Amino acid sequence: MSRLKDRTCNLSILHVFKIVLIAVTIGSVNCAWAEDWAKLRENMVKKQMKARDITDAEVLRVMGEVPRHLFVPKHAQRYSYSDRPLPIGEGQTISQPYIVALMSQLLDVKRGMKVLEIGTGSGYQAAVLSALGAQTYSVEIIPKLSVQAEGRLKKLGYAAEVKNADGYYGWKEYAPFDRIIITAAANHIPRPLLDQIKPGGKLILPLGNTQYYQTLTSVHIKEYGKTDVSYYSYVSFVPMTGEMQK
């Protein structure tokens, strides 16, 4: 009888030990995952940005902080810090991390500036702009993406206003903007957007053939309506739809 009692006692100690072991293992797996995302981000900044031509300290800081894996569908999460664009549903894509960094660097955002993005998509670029300290406004033409991005940005604590509309017409209520960034391919510069930039402001967009490649283009709006246009690398974005296609 006393033996049986001892055994029971031993068994339950073993059980407690097993439970503790399982709990510790689960805990460390969770920690490992959390650390992995940060590590992946750190590597992304080092190999895809610093090793190329991203030198803006604020852009590098923000790219190392914004949790890109929370902006892509679950099945694509493990590729979220890879050097490539990813599908985000509705036939749309989130740009390659390097392109987001490059466009943010070219945009030259300073704290407190009012920035308009056309093509919210997942909300990732909007989160980057908000983390750079910009008052961020973003327009998305696909209702489902716009609702999702708005909820995601709110949940993650990024201050950004999102609207479902054709971004060709900008966002008059909040104009003029210091900066405008178009993250869909355009074959011309929408006039309403030019009219919504402050003198001294800037517009960055992928300009060219909307079905194939475009040139990353920066338009600097000078005083008296004059503009300075600079061209950078070739890129390939999903087409801007709506009025742009008419």
Residues labelled catalytic:
95
Is 184 an interacting residue with respect to ligand SAH (CB under 6 A)? yes
Distance of closest approach, residue 70 Cβ to ligand SAH, in angstroms: 12
Choice between 123 and 201, CB closer to ligand SAH: 123
How far apart CA 149 and CA 142 sit, in angstroms, is 11
Q: How far apart are CA 59 and CA 195, in angstroms?
A: 27
| Nearest distance, CB of residue 229 and ligand SAH, angstroms | 21
What sections of 108-200 are H helices per DSSP? 124-131, 143-156, 191-195
x-marked contacts with ligand SAH along 51-90 as a string, rule CB under 6 A = -------------------------------------x--
State which amino acid sits at residue 206. P
Asked if residue 240 binds ligand SAH (CB under 6 A), the reply is yes
The residue from 116, 142, 219, 221 that contacts ligand SAH (CB under 6 A) is: 142
Q: Which is nearer to ligand SAH, 167 or 208 (CB)?
A: 167
Return phi, psi of residue 84, to 5°. -160, 155
Based on the shown chain and the rule CB under 6 A, indicate whether residue 203 belongs to the binding site for ligand SAH: no
Q: Kindly identify the residues of this chain, within the stretch 151-170, that bind ligand SAH according to CB under 6 A.
A: 166-168
Binding piece for ligand SAH, criterion CB under 6 A, among 47-55, 138-146, 171-179, 211-219: 138-146
Tell the smallest beta-carbon distance from residue 36 to ligand SAH (Å): 22
| Residue 74 CB contacts under 8 Å (≥ 6 apart), including other chains | none
Residue 97 near ligand SAH by CB under 6 A: no
For every residue of 31-98, DSSP letters joined together read HHHHHHHHHHHHHHIIIIIITTT---HHHHHHHTTS-GGGGS-GGGGGGTTSSS-EEEETTEEEPPHH
* Under 8 Å between Cβ of 163 and 138: yes
E strands in the chain: 86-89, 92-94, 114-118, 135-140, 160-164, 177-182, 197-208, 214-221, 227-235
Is residue 207 close enough to count as binding ligand SAH by CB under 6 A?
A: no
Beta bridge partners of 164: 140
Nearer to ligand SAH, 25 or 115 (CB): 115
Q: Which of 122, 135, 196, 217 is close enough to bind ligand SAH by CB under 6 A?
A: 122
Chain residues binding ligand SAH by CB under 6 A are: 88, 92-95, 118-119, 121-122, 124-125, 139-142, 145, 166-168, 183-184, 238, 240-242, 244
